[in-house]
Structure 1
Amino acid sequence: MIRRHDMLWVAIGLSALLCVSACVQAQSASRPEVTEWTWEVRPDQVDQKLPNVLLVGDSITRNYFPEVQQELKGRANVYLFAASTSLGDPRLDRQLKDFAALEGVTFNVVHFNNGMHGWAYSEKEYAASFPGYVATLRQIAVGAHLIWASTTPVKKASTPGPSNERIEARNAEALQVMTHESIAVDDQYGLMVRHPGFYMDDVHFKPEGSSLQGKQVVGAIEKYLK
């Protein structure tokens, strides 16, 4: 026979479990932007003798991708996965795994940053999601050299974001993970903060700015090419 005292503790336990479940679901829920997109690019012809390089990022990455592709022509097969999906959004993990499964190649180097979106997520949520993001990259590119690119500064802040204050906070959180994981760093923030004349709008850069970024990306990648 179940006593009233026992039933009370069962009720409290169930209530606590439901509360925890609801909190986890809230933290892992997607918070889409007005416009959502993905952009995937692969080589026209894959040279099986060359190493495979993957750039992961957003529109900033998409803009310097052509420079990287051109600079590494004949030295690497260069792939791109760019998306508006940000850290904190559970879709990013699925999208990266689906992309890797579709390509079916072994990536030797992964250069990554998904920092210019997801401003509905707090810096705390962003930081909490970073270790899982790195784990997914290691899963889709087993044994690959990872290179993290810091998020670039913006010309003008907007609400709820981006702003350079928030970008710097996120870069600092990410850098702690990179240090702990012994992952190489490509300081794109430090590069572009020195070139305020290269903005095309409040966030993106003119072709000469993207070209400058691409050359630094290549410098970070080529030391790992065999």
Structure 2
Amino acid sequence: MITRNRIKQFAAGVTVLLCACTFSLHGVPEVGSDAEFDRKTDWTFTPDAALPNVLILGDSISIGYTRQVRELLQGKANVYRPMSDDGTHPRNCFGTDVGLKICQPMLQAHQWDVIHFNWGLHDLKHVKQAHTNQKSNDPKDPQQSTPQEYDQNLREIVRELRKSDARLIFATTTPVVPGTLNPLRTPEAPVEYNAIAVKIMAENQIRVNDLHAYCLPNLAEWQKPMNVHFKPKGSQAIAERVAAVISEELANKGRSL
């Protein structure tokens, strides 16, 4: 639940990070996720038909922790995510405006026991033209999806996910540090978009894995400077949290680990 104390905690964390940051706001643009563009890592695995199936949906942040979650749940669950057509590298689910189209084939690929999902970081980023992926650093340019559009799109995604028999888990969007550019994202935007998402999840009785709150106290250690992506230590820490929550929901479904 997004509370006044949570917002105060976020503001305090942002202040500390801003004071500690020695970079110019325009000096170091954001770069992409290491895991997303890594073409050397082998993503293939052999599923065990006797184990429950878990699906992870999300952007490059989730790409950064999917393989670690798979390792943590080895022998306990088959962990999947959307992949390229040849199966060699992971697919980014981007924003809510295209996310459902990207993940639709995966929803039909297996009988899912748990689906852990997130959309938000792409929706809240600034772009040259709405509903495009044309990065912008200009605060006057629109966000990819407005808060109202994010609400509508996410509700549609939830309706589709609920058609499965899976236990659903929504992960809140992780924090944005000051000065994050290429594209511009503001520290306040995840708080606003997460509040919308949490309301939708409450209405649909869907569990929330609050990664925003989980990561916030550790950003200086876990997250890259002026970047939404995480260092290996941060991705591993998030993976441990995600694996633990998935394990709890598998047990709740009656598939005790």
TM range (shorter): 0.7 to 0.9
CA distance in 2, matches of 1:65, 1:177: 25
The question of 1:50 aligning with 2:51 is answered: yes
Matches within 5 A, 1:116-135: 116-118=121-123, 119=125, 120-135=144-159
Q: What are structure 1's unaligned runs of at least 5 residues?
A: 1-34
**Which residue of 1 is the match for residue 197 of structure 2?**
174
1:167-212 Cα distance to aligned partner (Å, 9 max, x none): 1000000000011100001110001111122222411111010000
**Which residue of 2 is the match for residue 145 of structure 1?**
167
CA distance in 1, matches of 2:231, 2:246: 23
**Which residue of 2 is the match for residue 85 of structure 1?**
94
Matched to 1:150, the amino acid is T
1:70-99 Cα distance to aligned partner (Å, 9 max, x none): 100000000013425211x1x322221123
Report deviation, 1:219: 1.1
Instruction: State the percentage of identical aligned residues.
Output: 31
1:28-71 Cα distance to aligned partner (Å, 9 max, x none): xxxxxxx9x999x9752111100000000000000011210110
**Which residue of 1 is the match for residue 216 of structure 2?**
193
CA distance in 1, matches of 2:68, 2:213: 19
Change (3 A) 1:38 1:205: closer
**Which residue of 1 is the match for residue 185 of structure 2?**
162
Change (3 A) 1:43 1:137: farther
Matched to 1:116, the amino acid is L
CA distance in 2, matches of 1:44, 1:221: 19
Q: Say which one has the larger Rg.
A: 1
CA distance in 2, matches of 1:70, 1:154: 27
| TM-score for both structures, normalised by structure 2 | 0.66
| TM-score for both structures, normalised by structure 1 | 0.75
8 Å Cα contact 1:71/1:215 also seen in 2 = yes
Change (3 A) 1:38 1:124: farther
Change (3 A) 1:155 1:188: same
Report deviation, 1:137: 1.7
CA distance in 2, matches of 1:160, 1:176: 27
Quick check: which one's strand share is greater?
A: 1
Matched to 2:74, the amino acid is K
Quick check: which one's helix share is greater?
A: 1
Report deviation, 1:160: 6.6
SS of aligned partner of 1:222:
helix
**Which residue of 1 is the match for residue 116 of structure 2?**
111
8 Å Cα contact 1:57/1:114 also seen in 2 = yes
CA distance in 2, matches of 1:172, 1:38: 30
Tell me the number of residue pairs that the alignment of Structure 1 and Structure 2 aligns.
184
